[in-house]
């Protein structure tokens, strides 16, 4: 997969891939226009939606209702480092959700591939590219 990153103005940064454009911006307090989510917010949203797709698949595969279901994700930050120290997922299930599936749906959500990549992070390589001299 390849993504092309562009800078459309002020602190906006866009990523283009697979026919989509993901727009980001910084909050007004950080000098941005606040016109789009910040990149880190998209990272957090990718964790939440990844957990969500695993929950949705679990429910659909068993013919269970999605009505009244969802996830609330919360984060806690380490006050010394300012970095996220805990990501919590609270699974919301309807009152008639079968008890026999409770542990299984938790295990399903824990399989989120975004989360799993954090446990075994990839290596990163940053290189330079310049136009060839004429």
Which tens digits make up the pLDDT trace of 87-123? 999 999 999 999 999 999 999 999 999 999 999 999 9
CATH of 38-134, one of 3.40.50.1820, 3.30.300.20, 3.40.50.450, 3.40.50.620: 3.30.300.20
In this model, does residue 3 exceed pLDDT 80?
Answer: yes
Q: What are the residue ranges spanned by the domains of the chain?
A: 1-37, 38-134
pLDDT confidence of 134, banded at 50, 70, 90? confident
Closest by alpha carbon to 113, among 123, 100, 122?
122
Kindly report the pTM of this predicted structure: 0.88
Cα gap 130→99, rounded to integer Å: 59
For the chain, percent of residues with pLDDT exceeding 70? 100
* pLDDT score at 40: 96
Given a contact cutoff of 8 angstroms between Cβ atoms, the answer to whether 48 and 91 are in contact is no
Q: How far apart are CA 91 and CA 73, in angstroms?
A: 9
DSSP secondary structure letter of residue 124: -
Q: Is the pLDDT of residue 133 over 90?
A: no
């Amino acid at each position: 997969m390849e993504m092309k990153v562009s800078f459309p103005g002020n602190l906006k940064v866009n990523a283009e891939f697979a026919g989509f454009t993901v727009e980001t911006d910084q909050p007004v307090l950080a000098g941005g226009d606040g016109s789009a989510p910040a990149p880190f917010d998209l990272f957090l949203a990718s964790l939440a939606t990844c957990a969500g797709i695993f929950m949705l698949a679990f429910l659909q595969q068993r013919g269970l209702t999605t009505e009244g279901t969802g996830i609330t994700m919360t984060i806690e930050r380490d006050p010394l480092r300012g970095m996220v120290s805990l990501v919590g997922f609270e699974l919301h299930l309807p009152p008639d959700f079968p008890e026999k599936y409770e542990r299984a749906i938790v295990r399903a959500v824990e399989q989120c591939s975004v989360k799993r990549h954090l446990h075994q992070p990839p290596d990163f390589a940053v290189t330079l590219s310049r136009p060839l001299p004429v």
